[in-house]
Amino acid sequence: MIISSTEEKSTYILEECDCTANTQKKYETVMCLGNGYLGMRSAFCEEIPEQTRLTLIAGLYDKQPHEEEELIPLPDVTPLSIAVEGEKISPLHKNSSEYSRSLNVRSGLLTYQYRYSPKDMEGDLLVKHSRFVSMAQKNLAMFETDIVSEGDFELELVSSINARITVNGTQHTFEEERTVLDNDLLWYGGRAAIAGTQFRVGSKMRIYVNGAEQEGIQRYSTERRIVSSTVRIKLSKGDELRIIRYATYYTANDIDWTGRDEDIVERTDSVCQKNFEYLLLESEKEWDSLWRTCDISVESDDASENLKLRLAMYHMMIMCPWQDDRVSIAAKGLTGMGYAGHVFWDCEIFNLPFFSYTNPMAARNLCIYRYRTLDGARRKARKYGYVGAMYPWESASVSGDEQSPEFKNYSPDNTPRRVTCGDIEQHVVCDVAYGVYSYGQVTGDRGFMKKYGLEILFETAAFWLSRLEYNEQKDRYEIRQVTGPDEYKEYVDNDVFTNYAVAWNLRTALDEIDRLRTEDTEAFNAFDKRLGLANLADGIGKKLPRLYLPTANDDGLIPQNDTYLTLKRIDISKYKNSGINRLIYRDYSLREIGGLMVSKQADLIQLFSLMPDLFPSDIIRKNFDFYEDKCIHDSSLSLSAFATVAARLGETDIAHGLFKGALDTDFGEHSTLCNEGIHAANCGGIWQTAVFGFAGIGVFEETLRIEPHIPLAWRNIAVRLSWRGCELQITLDNKNVTVESLNGKEIYVFVSGKEIRVNDRTTVTY
């Protein structure tokens, strides 16, 4: 293990000591393993009720007729049944005690252990399982089980590949082969039922007693969709049994897929020659280099805050398709089937900034995914009668086609209602452009912008030009009949977030057209020929100045949309503090909620969070108070946006409270909101509150700025990030900011309004 000191242990290791059926799903999610290609929920090896066993591969979707694309749950390699004298054991069994489970987020290693006392027999069994999904070899998951016998027992072990997995009643795969190959390799081949994408799963068990490998003792069997290996073994008092299981997953989507099973078998065989410790070390080294580029340490009265912040970062690292630019980050990462593995604005607005600031290559891949889906976005624009690119509200495969379902059950009477997000939640179009542009700004990757990013910016701007509606009476352009981020308000006119984000999209496109014209005529001409840049610039020049941008009324309030301030007020305390998602639906239908002054999530505040300099701080403060009071935070995307804005306002107590709420959404002791999967956007939001809110890091006039607002309970925060090729360690306490350039590059930084030059290590008192 790379991390061992006590101090580090407490803030990198999540421990669970009480094993109950009620918290199973939660910890399967929170302790999920992965490497961005493979995601594996941390269900126990032993069979127990209430488990959601799930292994997913990024980008491996299937689409049933009349349904949307959905990630395919793959055959499960986790099962290892252990029976002692005929009785199956598990950590939940009444004869089990001394249970504990832990996830080390620094190394990606999961372990759990317990003591099992067989009925009416002398002595116990001490069972310890360890497992990891390799960060070094994307196709590999490793399992180790150590059993110390304190008596004389006969054990039966059954390890299997189990492909009896359905999601919501849909069987997504066809079996192609189920067998045992030479060298004890359990083998399962199949393909996606409709898409036809092939996959192969291999699993091999090796058994050692007191260090000596036991060969030739495995007996094989297959039944429908299951292939298993069974071992019977006698243990005497003091014996140590070690079971090592290697599992590999390959799919025809893999960049290095050859289509030949022999190649996969050969690769799997070769990995099976290595021991568990070697493969773990190899993976830990990768983890170590990832953490080195992004770690944040917080010295706080409550050490669990740092652990939860790191858990959020860990989750972003296991959901990021590091090497693949054909897939992106789904709303639940690879931890659950929620939202079917679809990609939302969550990625560009909440997750992408973390990668732009800490791992530019990964961020670049995420942006290229949106470039690859441009054609789908163009198709959607045409379908709705517009031009340019209209990104889907929910995206999945590189087809880029809309995957938002048409119907869902949300009403109190359970009647399916039409889901309108795919039609009218259009802010995603500017969110994609904003995310991609911000990547370019943070990294300075002009090459990327010219090859991919600018096209996204221009095509989204073209969409908005065709989308704007002219209001003759008021002589202005408007955007009517949309849903903003606050999804409790459908079909509204002039949603404040959307209108300002569109203005940003158009203005930035125009600025970039001007820049290209003067800086790179050749590129300008090439774009102009393909996309009609001169026309686009003309159109923006005409329409943008007349785009309606809601401003503060006499009371200092900026209306969230044309009607929000006229809606009926109700007492929302019952819903706001309930800890139950969407409790309000038990009392009101969505239509009724549309008529109430109640918000699901940050809308105007989300705008403040993205564009902190748009309004003076007294207006931000006034609106923060007003809208926070109306917001139930019924979306996990909400708290962090409010927290970031509160921190920037200097309201550190309020911000800290909201931040803790965001931490506890998935990682709180009593929360079970993440049973069906982690809230990926919230993980990004947590990072943003720490970095953009409390550390006050951001961009001002193309320069990095730092305006700290550290909570009282924090003594300091140290943030690692990179800005335009300069690797920085920024440490802040309530008096000083120290900026250290780690790779010797010189940069200028604004610290609380003062410009400073850093080429080594500089401390400023603020």
Which parts of this chain interact with ligand BGC (CB under 6 A)?
331, 339, 344-346, 485, 487, 600-601, 635, 637, 681
- Give me the least distance between CB of 9 and ligand BGC, in Å please: 32
Radius of gyration of the chain (CA): 27
The minimum distance between CB 395 and ligand BGC, in angstroms, equals 11
Distance CA 133, CA 131 (A): 7
Residue 200 or 427 with smaller CB distance to ligand BGC: 427
Report, in Å, the least distance between residue 577 CB and ligand BGC: 19
Question: Which residue from 158, 144, 159, 156 is spatially nearest to 233, judged by alpha carbons?
Answer: 156
Question: Tokens 């961009």 belong to which residue?
Answer: 699
Identify whether 487 is a catalytic site residue.
Answer: yes
Q: Considering 284, 305, 348, 487, which one is annotated as catalytic?
A: 487
Residues whose CB falls within 8 Å of the CB of residue 216, separated by 6 or more in sequence, listed in order: none
Euclidean distance between CA atoms 708 and 655, whole angstroms: 13
Output the smallest distance, CB 681 to ligand BGC, in A. Answer: 5
DSSP states of 302-328: -THHHHHHHHHHHHHHHH--TT-TT--
Q: How far apart are the first and last CA of the chain?
A: 40
Q: Taking the complex as a whole, how short is the minimal distance between the CB of residue 58 and ligand BGC, in angstroms?
A: 17
198, 191 Cβ separation under 8 angstroms: yes
| Cβ contact 439:448 at 8 Å | yes
327's tokens: 């897939």
- Paired with 246 in beta bridges are 142, 204
Per-position DSSP letters for 258-288, written without gaps between them:
-S-HHHHHHHHHHHHTS-HHHHHHHHHHHHH
Q: How far is the CB of 517 from ligand BGC (least distance, A)?
A: 36
**Identity of the residue, 125 or 681, whose beta carbon is nearer to ligand BGC in the bound complex:** 681
* H or E element that contains 90: none
**What whole-number distance in Å separates Cα of residue 521 and Cα of residue 355?**
32
Would you say 395 or 741 has its CB closer to ligand BGC? 395
Closest approach, Cβ 486 to ligand BGC, in A, equals 8
144 secondary structure, DSSP code: E
Between 284 and 603, whose beta carbon lies closer to ligand BGC?
A: 603
| Residues contacting 679, CB < 8 A, separation 6+ | 331, 332, 636, 637, 665, 666, 673
Q: Which is nearer to ligand BGC, 184 or 487 (CB)?
A: 487
Of 345 and 437, nearer to ligand BGC (C-beta) is: 345
Compute the least distance from the CB of residue 54 to ligand BGC, in Å.
18
The residue with tokens 């400073």 is: 756
Question: Rounded to an integer, what distance in angstroms lies between the CA atom of residue 526 and that of residue 445?
Answer: 20
Instruction: Residue 366: name the closest of 329, 415, 403 by CA.
Output: 329
Query: 3-state DSSP call for residue 46?
Result: coil
- Given the complex with ligand BGC, which of 508 and 665 has the nearer CB atom? 665
DSSP β-bridge partners for residue 239: none
| Residues classed as catalytic | 487
